[in-house]
Amino acid sequence: MTVERRRPTHGTVILIGGSEDKEGARLILTEVVRRAGGGPLVVATLASEVPDAQWERYHRVFRDLGVTALRHLAVQDREELVDADPSAILDDAAAVFFTGGDQVKIATKLGGTPLFDKLRDRFKRGMLIAGTSAGASAMGEAMLVARGLEEPTHKVDGAFYMTRGLGLVAELIIDQHFAQRARIERLIGAIAENPGVLGIGIDEDTGVVLEPDRRFTVMGRGAVYVADGYGITHTNVSEKSRGQTLSLFDVRLHVLNHGTGFDLGSRRPFKATHE
Amino acid sequence: MTVERRRPTHGTVILIGGSEDKEGARLILTEVVRRAGGGPLVVATLASEVPDAQWERYHRVFRDLGVTALRHLAVQDREELVDADPSAILDDAAAVFFTGGDQVKIATKLGGTPLFDKLRDRFKRGMLIAGTSAGASAMGEAMLVARGLEEPTHKVDGAFYMTRGLGLVAELIIDQHFAQRARIERLIGAIAENPGVLGIGIDEDTGVVLEPDRRFTVMGRGAVYVADGYGITHTNVSEKSRGQTLSLFDVRLHVLNHGTGFDLGSRRPFKATHE
């Protein structure tokens, strides 16, 4: 798989590492609401096995936070999108929020449908896209795929456990529940395959707000890891090296907390404070 | 805690990430034996709760590998070293091999004793030191200490879970069972506290052979992570920031496999093949 560089996208994207606070200060979801600007907010539960339960949960939270126009985008099956195109739901939407579950479901249901064309079009015109957990991972050009319960190792093969995401955020491979599931090795394996891409790992109850100017700032309780493969001087990743132990020189790693950020254009972290 | 730079030590050190192969090709233990050159090999079980069982196990393996002169250095209690100094065991030893267990026990039993003075003296005159698991970690200037079962987080506090090691290998913080226990975050926390130090994380059945010229090569099945804090441009670690989420810019990370290595002098990885 190759991850091409694209022109910057035009909406704002909020990526959340999962398990965002829904009861207390609700820092991150409040930011989602603020950025949606009071317009209709669509909750997309495509990743979930329990879409109705998720809809009810987020409906309650977002309503509590003052959103009056809430819509549920539920797609059980890709065929539904052929029979009846539900994309009218996006016509005047200010934001779409993707809930968690299985990120592959988001891509297989949405990819190559009129609904996705509409979503991308609206996004390019400034609509906010937000996603938590699997809903965040699906936004990248490539998605990391779970390898099951096998023993953790540092094999080259880690670089191949990827599939195509929606590509709304180019240049990024996004991982979530990061500290909680100790996933940094798989993120590093992923950038080994294409050092041009940036890997970001987002902790639970932590989010990044990626602006159209390609700068993102971190908010929330945890950390965001950024693994930059741009300066890699050696990697042994190739089809032939499957089964071998990974070897990789000169990965640049940043650990970002609330109030710091990263510029995807210059590939530099920065200290900042939220507005 | 500060970790000072020291003059290079003079013996060779073999650091093993634990669970080294004891039944098959025994690549790493064979290298220990080869480096010991047939001379007396001392098995030091200071870290262990079951020193006799460990001694029996390693006695069998090393004997199988052709070592005829094997000695057991067992210290149940620091007081033993006051009553009777067992350091004569080191007089003509070619190598000391530290087994696993609790690395803090190694430091608390050995530190500031005539036995340790003798060990360091023999090491400076060229004696081989090897250690596996806790026996590897104890060789560093600082040792990482387990934080118990609390939820994994990316807090500044990670930088403070350290205590003094034996300091036979200066400039290094050594972690082991690395892939298997998903410990990279704690290694990064550790170098955040003193960016001048190098953190190395060694997988199971994997070792590094550190030569007196301060270059080490990797051998075995897994990977060795090297986290270099030298170029760090920002860290929020301070006593006051305890409880905050870690923030750290520009860590340099290398993933090394069998046949690659690292030069502690130039802080550069290299590709090499074993002799």
Tokens of A20: 């965002």
Q: Quote ipTM for the complex.
A: 0.85
B87 is catalytic: no
A180: which chain B residues are within 8 Å (Cβ-Cβ)? 151-152
Rounded Cα distance, A13 and A23, in Å: 23
The closest of A93, A94, A95, A102 to A75, measured between CA atoms, is A102
B49 is catalytic: no
CATH number for region A13-260 = 3.40.50.880
CB A33 within 8 A of CB A207: no
Q: Does A272 touch chain B (CB under 8 A)?
A: no
The closest of A112, A229, A121 to A171, measured between CA atoms, is A229
Tokens of B32: 């220990």
Residues 6+ apart with CB under 8 A from A62: A29, A33, A41, A43, A70, A97
A227: which chain B residues are within 8 Å (Cβ-Cβ)? 253
pTM: 0.89
State the pLDDT at residue B274.
47
Nearest chain A CA: its distance from B71 CA (Å): 35
pLDDT in tens, A194-243: 888 899 999 999 999 999 999 999 999 999 999 999 999 999 988 778 88
Ramachandran angles phi, psi of B212, nearest 5°: -60, -20
Question: Tell me, what DSSP letter sits at residue A158?
Answer: G
Cα–chain-centroid distance for residue A82?
26
Pick the residue with more confidence: A167 or A146? Answer: A167
Rounded Cα distance, B253 and A188, in Å: 10
CB A3 within 8 A of CB A196: yes
Residue pointed to by tokens 């529940």: A177
Region of residue B236 (left: phi > 0; alpha: psi -120 to 50; beta: else): alpha
Rounded Cα distance, B254 and A217, in Å: 27
Cα distances (angstroms) measured from residue B75 to each of A189, B89, B133: 43, 12, 18
Cα distances (angstroms) measured from residue A273 to each of A31, A69, A116: 14, 31, 34
The per-residue pLDDT of chain A, averaged, comes to 89
Q: Read off the pLDDT band of A180 (50, 70, 90).
A: confident
Domain B13-264 CATH superfamily: Class I glutamine amidotransferase (GATase) domain (3.40.50.880)
Q: Read off the pLDDT band of A46 (50, 70, 90).
A: very high
Question: Tell me, what DSSP letter sits at residue A25?
Answer: -
State the pLDDT at residue A152.
59
Each residue's pLDDT tens digit in chain B (275 positions)?
455 555 545 799 999 999 999 999 999 999 999 999 988 999 999 999 999 999 999 999 999 999 999 999 999 888 888 777 788 899 999 999 999 999 999 999 999 899 999 999 999 999 999 999 999 999 998 888 776 555 556 777 766 677 889 999 988 999 998 877 767 878 888 888 888 889 999 999 999 999 999 999 999 999 999 999 999 999 988 877 888 888 999 999 999 999 999 999 999 999 976 44
Q: Read off the pLDDT band of A274 (50, 70, 90).
A: very low
Distance in angstroms between the alpha carbons of the first and the last residue of chain B: 38
Facing residue for A154 by CB, picked from B223, B244, B260:
B223
Average pLDDT over residues A250-258: 95
CB contact under 8 A, B271 and A234: yes
Residues 6+ apart with CB under 8 A from A203: A17, A177, A178, A179, A180, A220, A221, A222, A223, A224, B153, B154
Ramachandran angles phi, psi of A28, nearest 5°: -75, -45
Give the dihedral sign, CA B239/B243/B247/B251.
positive
Q: Does A229 touch chain B (CB under 8 A)?
A: no
B247: which chain A residues are within 8 Å (Cβ-Cβ)? 223, 255-257, 260
